[in-house]
Structure 1
Amino acid sequence: MLALPAAAGYDCLIEPTQTVELGAPVAGLIDRVLVKRGDRVTHGQVLASLESHAEQAASDLARYKSQLAGPSQLAQSKIEFSQRKYNRRRDMAAEKLMSRQDSDDAEGELKQAQAELLVAKENREVAHLEYVQQSSQLNLRTIRSPFDGVVVDQMMWPGEIFEPGATKHAIVKLAQLNPLRIRVVMPMRAFGEAAVGMTANVVPEIQPGKPYTAKVVSVDRIIDAASGTFVVFMDLPNPGLDVPSGVKCKASLGKQ
């Protein structure tokens, strides 16, 4: 990669874009941890899970109830029968072959059957909402990766009890290494040299002969009075994870 022209180099540090410790929002027995330190993970990948047999059973039951079609079909059949009965009695009452009361009774049966169908549909919708709720509760017991990254550490193991807010408040620790975040410490006299969108050369301490191109994403607007410095943040693409984080570097500004 060709170096960009630069007037001076500044001390910098290569860091992960973000580092997070992951756990579950509920307490429970850790059932599985599917990754280990150093593993690469993708967004949405299952990393660990808590024991969830009871929650799985409740979710399956709620799903079964939400799929029941019998009550609706029964109510629909009653409507069809009541409709034919009402039509016959209405016609007979119109020809004075039956009392008006019998026709009214048939009409009442029809409306009752229609109401039963409405209740059956409402119950099925309630069952569906209960299934969604139970599924959400089940999902709380599965820990997934929030981004593409690398497992930095594993703090808990299968068989341990996980409790939010306890001393061990995380199961695994992840770091996002693509892109990398470059923290550049610049002297007060250099304020104004860096601007968002500007490119820069970054040379890692462990690869002094191999510069990389980064882009400025943030510039501090507050200068630290004690040290007379401010910080500039850059993003360095790292799709192959060729550049490690946690090492010092030198950064020289290029052009916007």
Structure 2
Amino acid sequence: MKKTLGWIFLGCSAGLAHAGTDFDCMIEPAQTVELRSPVVGLIQKLHVRRGSRVARNSPLVTIDSGVERSAVNVAKFKSEALGALQVAQSKLQAAQGKAQRNRQLYEEEFVSAQARDDAVAEARLAEAEVKSARENLQLARLEQIQSQEQLNRRILRSPFPGVVMNVYLSTGALVDTSESKKAILKLVQTDKLRVEAFVPLRYFNRIKAGNGVTIRPEAPLTGGVSARVSTVDRVIDSASGTFGVVVELDNRNGTVPVGSRCKMAIAGVN
């Protein structure tokens, strides 16, 4: 790899595009997101500030969650409480033993059929109580999962690796789910970039996905990067008589300057 004033030539099998017509382009983040809260509450903590680099799933904002944490603790206790199940199992064991003895006594004509049937009914009722206790325990475990999910919604995490462009709100600010409310922060994805050029219609049949390209930033930046066409728009902009050509760049090493204007030379297009 050859270094050129902040840029690195990223090799590809086709190499750099041959010199030819340059098209104006813009190097942009693959995604830009304005983060809003899915719940109502006060901002308890901001984990980032403007310019912070974040990894995927990194915590960005914590919304006040005291009530939700308490609910998780209660649900956890209920999901681990085995007393009711153990009582029901003990009653079932005793009832089954009693039913077995009464069946034997009935066969030996020491008890009535009614006593035998009552003991069998007792055992069946105890079985139902064990089943109910198990169902309640399972329900408690599901409620614990639900409570944990509610708590998780109050910790806003980064959906992708990127950079925090702006932070609009501070600790203590009230957030809610309204679209009209101000976003908490703006996050851009920088490990993948999107470069788009608008090309005159006369080149429409000459550019295909996979064509090699060279992308060069505007001055005073120098150098260039080789890549391939990712997408060619199939719909023409009738007002300008152009169509879009999109190139996706891998920028995990952070060498490509984001947000700069550029020139795109496409192999075989003169």
**C-alpha contact 1:186 1:230 (8 A) present in aligned 2:** yes
Q: Does 1:127 align with 2:140?
A: yes
**C-alpha contact 1:58 1:134 (8 A) present in aligned 2:** yes
Q: Distance in 1 between matches of 2:194 and 2:154?
A: 31
Pairwise CA distance, 1:25: 1.1
Q: Distance in 2 between matches of 1:69 and 1:108?
A: 25
Which deviates the most, 219-228 or 55-64? Answer: 219-228
Show the 5 A alignment for 1:190-209.
190-206=203-219, 208-209=221-222
| CA-to-aligned-CA distance 1:76-126 (integer Å, 9 cap, x gap) | 111111111111111011001111211111111111110100110111111
Aligned partner of 1:174 in structure 2 is: 187
**C-alpha contact 2:52 2:163 (8 A) present in aligned 1:** yes
1:70 to 83, 89, 101: 83
3-state SS of paired residue (1:243): coil
| CA-to-aligned-CA distance 1:190-226 (integer Å, 9 cap, x gap) | 1122211222100111465311022212112222222
3-state SS of paired residue (1:55): helix
Q: Distance in 1 between matches of 2:187 and 2:221?
A: 28
3-state SS of paired residue (2:206): coil
Give the TM-score normalised by the residue count of structure 2.
Answer: 0.89
3-state SS of paired residue (2:191): strand
**C-alpha contact 1:23 1:170 (8 A) present in aligned 2:** yes
Q: Distance in 2 between matches of 1:12 and 1:113?
A: 76
Aligned partner of 2:65 in structure 1 is: 52
Aligned residue pairs total 255
Which deviates the most, 125-134 or 147-156? Answer: 125-134
3-state SS of paired residue (1:156): coil
| CA-to-aligned-CA distance 1:150-192 (integer Å, 9 cap, x gap) | 1111111111101222654321111011221001121111112
Aligned partner of 1:83 in structure 2 is: 96
Q: Distance in 1 between matches of 2:109 and 2:238?
A: 103
Aligned partner of 2:236 in structure 1 is: 223
Aligned partner of 1:253 in structure 2 is: 266
Aligned partner of 1:236 in structure 2 is: 249
3-state SS of paired residue (1:113): helix
Aligned partner of 1:26 in structure 2 is: 39
Aligned partner of 1:4 in structure 2 is: 17
Q: Distance in 2 between matches of 1:129 and 1:169?
A: 34
Q: Distance in 2 between matches of 1:215 and 1:37?
A: 32
**C-alpha contact 2:16 2:212 (8 A) present in aligned 1:** no
Amino acid at match of 1:121: R
Q: Does 1:43 align with 2:52?
A: no
- Which ranges in structure 2 are unaligned for 5 or more consecutive residues? 1-8, 10-14
Amino acid at match of 2:186: K
**C-alpha contact 2:191 2:254 (8 A) present in aligned 1:** yes
3-state SS of paired residue (2:57): coil
Aligned partner of 1:104 in structure 2 is: 117
Q: Distance in 2 between matches of 1:156 and 1:217?
A: 37
2:157 to 122, 128, 144: 144
Q: Distance in 1 between matches of 2:215 and 2:17?
A: 10
